[in-house]
Amino acid sequence: MLKSMTGYGRGNYAGPTFNITAELRSVNHRYADYFLRVPREFYFFEDRIRRLLQGKIGRGRIEVNITLHRSPAGRESVALDEKLAAAYHRTLQDLAVALDLPPDISLCELVQLPGVLGETGLPADEELLWPPLEEALQEALEGLLEQRTAEGRNLMRDLQLRLSSLEALVDELDGLTPLALEEQRKRLESRLQEALADNFDENRLLTECAVLVERMDVHEEIVRLKSHLSAFDRSLRQREGPVGRRLDFIAQEIFREVNTVGAKAQDHRLTALVVEVKSELEKMREQIQNIE
């Protein structure tokens, strides 16, 4: 199933003492790239968050924003880290002695140091925080994937229409090529007859015309173009896994063959068709950049 690389999802966990909000945003990127903003309490889970996302998202830049809110019930009491406070006190006293300063450390100043006082409401065991966090992430991930899938369906419809247009143009090229080559052969014969009027050699004339016309023949390029278009269609219909890179590669191959056709074509009708093919292909390549 074709998926876009852009989307947004939001999930929440509401508990008796704390709430968690998870927001996921994804944009185009050549590879899978994860950018996390999480509270200090969730640093321990960063690798686990990445693994959770990697299982569902194959490509794109994913921004993860986690916020933690303690509910009023979680603020009714305060947690005191006595060991940390004692360590701060000893360190400050040692510093005062080293600097020959009075050790006038007040309780008010001590409790303002980082980590001494904090709100309660979170489980003491870090592992107990993962299920609520995972719940919020899963909800956000479902929303994100839903948006990426919906946008992917829109992209697929557009690309299928453009692919049909390309196939029609290539069929037109294929049908016009023999006529254009025959007309070119007759023009070359006429010019060579005029140039060799005094020393006319029919065998030489036919050989020269055959060589020149062969150089202008684009039959092989058109065969490869049709093969690439079929491969593009098969990739569009692939049910599993990211296909954006493969589609981009096939589009590059199509562009290469079209360039060759344009360089070899000596007929204004072929040249006009090549311009149309390039224009349609460029629009397809812009859309492909959005595909996972």
Q: List the CATH number of the domain containing 26.
A: 3.30.230
CA distances from 132 to 9, 41, 223 (A): 17, 13, 57
Pairing of strands 60-70, 18-27: antiparallel
| Per-residue pLDDT tens over the stretch 52-91 | 999 899 899 999 999 988 766 545 556 677 888 888 888 8
Please state the separation of Cα 289 from the chain's center in Å. 7
Token pair of 46, please? 């960063």
Contact 289, 247 (CB under 8 A): no
Q: Minimal CA–CA distance to 282: which of 180, 165, 151, 127?
A: 165
Q: What is the mean pLDDT of the chain?
A: 84
**pLDDT value at residue 283:** 92
Q: Identify whether residues 48 and 130 lie together within a single domain.
A: yes
Same domain, 171 and 280: yes
- Pairwise CA distance, residues 141 & 145, whole Å: 6
Let me know if residue 2 belongs to a domain. Answer: no
Residues 26 and 135 in one domain: yes
Classify the phi-psi angles of 65: left when phi > 0, otherwise alpha if psi is within -120 to 50, otherwise beta.
beta
**Secondary structure (3-state) at 85:** helix
Range of the domain at 59: 7-74+124-148
Are residues 22 and 83 located together in one domain of the fold?
A: no
102 and 176 in a single domain? The answer is no
| pLDDT given for residue 191 in this prediction | 66
Q: Looking at the structure, do residues 210 and 277 belong to the same domain, yes or no?
A: yes
What is the percent of the chain where pLDDT is above 70? 82
- Domain count across the chain: 3
Q: Where are the alpha helices (DSSP H) in the chain?
A: 46-54, 82-98, 107-111, 130-195, 202-216, 219-236, 244-264, 268-288
Residues 135 and 18 in one domain: yes
Residue 31 lies in a domain: yes
Q: Are residues 141 and 158 in the same domain?
A: no
Of the candidates 43, 44, 46, 4, the one whose C-alpha atom is nearest the C-alpha of residue 26 is: 4
How far is Cα 61 from Cα 218, in angstroms, rounded to an integer? Answer: 41
Q: Pull the structure tokens for residue 190.
A: 């006429």
Distance CA 127, CA 286 (A): 45
State which amino acid sits at residue 4.
S
26 and 109 belong to one structural domain? no
pTM of the model: 0.71
- If we measure between CA atoms, which residue out of 271, 6, 291, 8 comes closest to residue 156? 291
Per-residue model confidence as pLDDT tens digits over 103-156: 777 888 777 777 776 655 566 567 888 999 999 999 999 999 999 999 999 999
Q: Residues 28, 289: contact at Cβ < 8 Å?
A: yes
Do 111 and 194 belong together in one domain?
no
253 within domain boundaries: yes
